[in-house]
Homo-oligomer: A and B are copies of this chain.
């Protein structure tokens, strides 16, 4: 019903980071891609196979030192249903290695439609008599623009299945302010969204004090991270934008509480493409080395604040 399982993995690995799995073809080492193309042709099937093989190798490289993976669903949909099948297999593989899986799908709809999304990504779907878990992830990201009707169906599935949800609050991109920084009734829209999350979080209490409703807050907005951390003690943060987008150990320091908890920082390209900067290493060694560097960068700034 909360992020307790995720937090427990963060404590065990002493590492509040998550491996983003955003498999653009250009991120995959050529020799790996060629192997899949030889088997399935330079086709959507070949691309999907290359993505799955790359993901599995990355998971094997870091599953003992990184607690979670965050597949970005867009990059799987880009290869149609074959890409989506590779995503389902990636989720199952990461969980078999003990990792917590956050589906970065940013879904947002209403009523029975949102229920279908929640069941697809976190829960089960009825086949008249039987139940089927389409993706079975541990948490998903959602867009709260549609209001409570879009969140309540997800919370219900989280309650039933011990899962969590991250709501977009202040996103990492340069134009996130177009709407999110608009001021209404003395607060910004992203603060209004955080207040809604705080209200929703009462339905998913956690043992650590953090609920099962979290907030996405970009590493590129350090001041907002710090303010939101101070104001919303129950919201666990998913922090994208580390690395290539400009976030650093220093810029995310404010996301954490005095125990070094309260947030998980995501990096995709810097971890997945570490091999491009370290030609002397295998691609898995390069990712592992970057994972350790990232962990040290973040925990160094985290303690003591």
A residues adjacent to B (C-beta < 8 A): 22, 24-25, 42-44, 46-47, 72, 74-75, 77-85, 87-88, 106-114, 116-117, 119-121, 125-130, 132, 134-135, 143-150, 168, 171-180, 182-185, 189, 192-193, 196
- Cβ contact of A147, chosen from B72, B75, B175, cutoff 8 A: B175
Q: List 26 A-B contacts (CB under 8 A).
A: A25-B127, A42-B130, A43-B130, A44-B127, A44-B134, A74-B116, A74-B117, A75-B113, A78-B117, A80-B135, A81-B82, A106-B107, A108-B143, A111-B173, A145-B168, A145-B180, A146-B168, A146-B171, A147-B179, A148-B178, A179-B193, A182-B184, A182-B189, A182-B192, A183-B184, A183-B185
How far is it, in angstroms, between the C-alpha of A184 and the C-alpha of B189 when the chains are bound? 9
Contact A128 B81 (CB under 8 A): no
How far is it, in angstroms, between the C-alpha of A185 and the C-alpha of B120 when the chains are bound? 39
How far is it, in angstroms, between the C-alpha of A121 and the C-alpha of B112 when the chains are bound? 23
A120 and chain B: residue at smallest CB distance? B77
Tell me which residues across on chain B come within 8 A of A179, comparing CB atoms.
144-147, 189, 192-193, 196
Tell me which residues across on chain B come within 8 A of A171, comparing CB atoms.
110, 145-147
